[in-house]
Amino acid sequence: MRKKLVVGNWKMNLTRSEASATIESLLLMIEPTTEIEVAICPTYLTIETVGQLFKRTHFKVGAQDVFWMNSGAFTGNVSAPMLKDVGCHFCIVGHSETRGRFGKLDIPESTIPYFSETDETVNLKIKSLLYHSIHPILCCGETLAEREAGQTDEVIQAQLKGALSGIEGAEFHDGVVAYEPVWAIGTGKTCDTAEAGRVCTMIRKALVEILDESAAASIRILYGGSVKGSNAGELFAQPDIDGGLVGGASLVAEDFSKIIQSA
Ligand code: PEP
């Protein structure tokens, strides 16, 4: 039986004092239960602050990205052993915002080349995370153009194959996959519940082929893309949706607590 998992991706938001205030409010709103798992992925600078506040709870802290080498001349980057050292349990990889698939979102064109993650670098990051016992949250998903061209399933299958190349089922057993249609991230557009459920079932079948049956049955598959308190319940009720990866709504304690309660 897979435990539901709700992960907040704070992106480049909240200073340490804002992060503390948000977590303190959240902890007042949530009944402690070990029946579901909750994690927050704040900026690198607030990982320890959030981790300290979670100390006496079952909530976990994670990171939003990682570099695959352990140390060296890689200016601006952070490695898996460094994330482990500050208490990270999870780490997001392959988010559409780091894959450079921004499409027409409202960001300066000049920042696109900076975020140039590929399936190959995602694969290297996952291997490094697994080696350091951090659970990867592997994001995959199609752009609007790919969906309209009927390529959704093949795009996702290729992303999964590339990201998990050379990795055994037993190694990724406790890993997480997040289905995040690029066109639904931060846009307020949620994927139709039945379609999100269908894609997540397709992902689980692909994981049987790429890894093995036992790993595919235990990997949590999350849906992400404008999840809110009002739609979380029906999304999380789909048989192959094991929770959510939540961006915007995780920044407001009241909104995030409603999503956690839906799980
Ligand atoms: C995300 O960033 O992973 C995400 C799903 O964002 P939002 O919930 O804001 O669409």
**How does pLDDT run along the chain (263 residues), one tens digit per residue?**
899 999 999 999 999 999 999 999 999 998 777 899 999 999 999 999 999 999 989 999 999 999 999 999 999 999 999 999 999 999 999 998 888 654 444 555 555 555 678 899 999 999 999 999 999 999 999 988 899 999 999 999 999 999 999 999 999 999 999 999 988 887 778 789 999 999 999 999 999 999 999 999 999 999 999 899 999 999 999 999 999 999 999 999 999 999 999 99
Handedness of CA 198, 200, 202, 208 (dihedral sign): negative
Q: Is the CB of 215 under 6 A from ligand 1?
A: no
CA distances from 134 to 54, 62, 78, 154, 169 (A): 17, 9, 14, 28, 16
Per annotation, catalytic residue among 37, 89, 95, 117: 95
Q: Is the CB of 227 under 6 A from ligand 1?
A: yes
DSSP per-residue string spanning 43-112 = -GGGHHHHHHHTTTSS-EEEES--BSSSSSS-TT--BHHHHHHTT--EEEES-TTTTT--TTSSS-GGGG
Rounded to the nearest 10 degrees, the angle between the axes of helix 152-163 and helix 119-131 is 50
Q: Is the CB of 9 under 6 A from ligand 1?
A: yes
Residue 38 is which amino acid? V
**CATH number reported for the structural domain that contains residue 114 in this entry:** 3.20.20.70
User: How many folded domains does the chain comprise?
Assistant: 1
Question: What end-to-end distance do the CA atoms of the chain give, in Å?
Answer: 14
Atom 2 in ligand 1: which residue has the minimum CA distance? 247
Q: Is the CB of 224 under 6 A from ligand 1?
A: yes
Rounded CA separation 74/79 (Å): 10
What pLDDT sits at residue 112? 52
Give the contacts of 104 (CB within 8 A, at least 6 positions apart).
none
Q: State the distance from the centre of ligand 1 to the C-alpha of 227, rounded, in angstroms.
A: 7
- Our answer to whether residue 120 is catalytic in this structure is no
Q: State the distance from the centre of ligand 1 to the C-alpha of 245, rounded, in angstroms.
A: 7
Per annotation, catalytic residue among 97, 117, 142, 180: 180
Q: State the distance from the centre of ligand 1 to the C-alpha of 73, rounded, in angstroms.
A: 32
Q: State the distance from the centre of ligand 1 to the C-alpha of 174, rounded, in angstroms.
A: 22
Give the contacts of 11 (CB within 8 A, at least 6 positions apart).
64, 97, 247
- Our answer to whether residue 95 is catalytic in this structure is yes
Q: State the distance from the centre of ligand 1 to the C-alpha of 60, rounded, in angstroms.
A: 18
Domain around 210: 5-262
For the chain, how many helices (H) and strands (E)? 11, 8
8 backbone dihedrals φ, ψ, rounded to 5°: -95, 130
What pLDDT sits at residue 103? 45
Query: By CB neighbour count within 10 A (0-12 exposed, 13-18 middle, 19+ buried), where does 170 fall?
Result: exposed
| 3-class state of residue 118 by DSSP | coil
CA distances from 47 to 18, 103, 140, 172 (A): 13, 29, 24, 24
245 backbone dihedrals φ, ψ, rounded to 5°: -105, 115
Please identify, by atom number, the ligand 1 atom nearest to the C-alpha of residue 180. 5
| 3-class state of residue 122 by DSSP | helix
Token pair listed for 28: 């007042």
Q: Is the CB of 225 under 6 A from ligand 1?
A: yes
What pLDDT sits at residue 188? 79
Is-contact 27 256, C-beta < 8 A?
A: no
Q: Is the CB of 185 under 6 A from ligand 1?
A: yes
